[in-house]
């Protein structure tokens, strides 16, 4: 998908880790969507997305799993490679999947290095706060940019008692703030806040020098992220905080039905769609 010479995108530069801080300083809202393959990544990149997140949400959105836990590092490498090859402008952030980083900072480094070397990611995302401070510190000191993830952390849903809002109550809100400061201290470039009460997310955003990117955390975060299949109306069910910006699922189903009908009534292929002339 080439850019016309006079297109606004033609002068666009790759979004880099330094642009996180610049966006926060300028008050410019950051945009992020998930992407799991080259086809959609190219479209999102062309549209002007700042960041594409190769999320472990590939598990329950593309691979047929009930949650993110079964996703492997090998699967994340393949998905990340597909997305990174298709993008020219957006920064590609890849999730470290469950079991690939928790045990030690060294495990986190080995896994993250694969996502950069084999997958072409520009940064990685980890779930957790103060408990992974040393993991994040090792990565950032080794030249691997990190995006944190606090609030509802899907990899820990068994410990959290399900997909529930996090940070409710003064004590929980204070822990969330301290976790965010710990990640910032360790060198994280940005933090995703998921399913956090709006006032708590606003407080975290206020106390941090690095940007927050919300998902179900209100409008006062420094940016927003959505799972693209939710955003585009591809799923039968989406969380209550999601707004559907298009009915891509219905359009695809309609196109499929039209194709089936055309094949069966022999209106396709016709002379204009055949090499047998």
SS3 of residue 26 by DSSP: helix
Binding-site residues? 56-57, 95, 125, 127
pTM (two decimals): 0.92
Binding-site residues for Mg(2+)? 56, 95, 127
Residue-wise pLDDT tens digits, 183-193: 999 999 999 99
Q: Do 180 and 191 touch, CB atoms closer than 8 A?
A: yes
Where are any strands of DSSP class E within the chain?
30-34, 51-54, 91-95, 123-125, 146-151, 190-194, 212-215, 223-226
Distances (CA, A) of 219 to 108, 151, 195: 31, 16, 12
Q: Per-residue pLDDT tens, the chain, 277 aa: give them.
A: 455 444 445 578 999 999 999 999 999 999 999 999 999 999 999 999 999 999 999 999 999 999 999 999 999 999 999 999 999 999 999 999 999 999 999 999 999 999 999 999 999 999 999 999 999 999 999 999 999 999 998 887 666 555 567 778 899 999 999 999 999 999 999 999 999 999 999 999 999 999 999 999 999 999 999 999 999 999 888 878 889 999 999 999 999 999 999 999 999 998 776 665 5
Instruction: Give catalytic status of residue 194 as yes or no.
Output: yes
For 61-86, write each residue's pLDDT tens digit: 999 999 999 999 999 999 999 999 99
Find, among 194, 184, 105, the residue nearest to 146 by Cα: 184
Domains and CATH numbers, the chain: 8-246 (3.20.20.60), 248-277 (no CATH)
Query: Which residue of the set 66, 194, 206, 247 is catalytic?
Result: 194
């Amino acid at each position: 998908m080439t850019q016309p010479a006079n297109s606004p995108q033609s002068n666009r530069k790759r979004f880099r880790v330094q642009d996180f801080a610049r966006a926060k300083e300028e008050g410019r809202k950051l945009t992020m969507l998930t992407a799991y393959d080259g086809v959609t990544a190219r479209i999102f990149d062309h549209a002007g997305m700042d960041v594409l997140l190769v999320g472990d949400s590939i598990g329950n959105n593309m691979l047929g799993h009930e949650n993110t836990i079964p996703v492997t590092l090998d699967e994340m490498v393949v998905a990340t490679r597909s997305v990174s090859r298709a993008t020219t402008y957006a920064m590609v952030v890849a999730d470290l999947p469950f079991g690939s980083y928790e045990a030690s900072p060294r495990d986190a480094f080995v896994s993250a290095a694969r996502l950069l070397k084999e997958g072409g990611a520009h940064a990685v995302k980890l779930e957790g706060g103060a408990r992974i401070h040393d993991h994040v510190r090792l990565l950032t000191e080794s030249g691997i940019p990190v995006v944190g993830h606090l609030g509802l952390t899907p990899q820990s849903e068994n410990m959290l008692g399900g997909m529930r809002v996090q940070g409710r109550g003064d004590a929980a809100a204070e822990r969330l703030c301290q976790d965010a400061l710990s990640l910032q201290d360790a060198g994280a470039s940005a933090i995703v806040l998921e399913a956090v009460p709006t006032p708590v997310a606003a407080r975290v955003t206020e106390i941090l020098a690095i940007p927050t990117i919300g998902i179900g955390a209100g409008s006062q975060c420094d940016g927003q992220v959505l799972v693209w299949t939710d955003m585009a109306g591809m799923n039968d069910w989406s969380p209550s905080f999601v707004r559907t910006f298009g009915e891509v699922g219905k359009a695809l189903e309609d196109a499929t039905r039209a194709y089936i009908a055309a094949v069966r009534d022999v209106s396709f292929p016709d002379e204009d769609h055949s090499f047998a002339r």
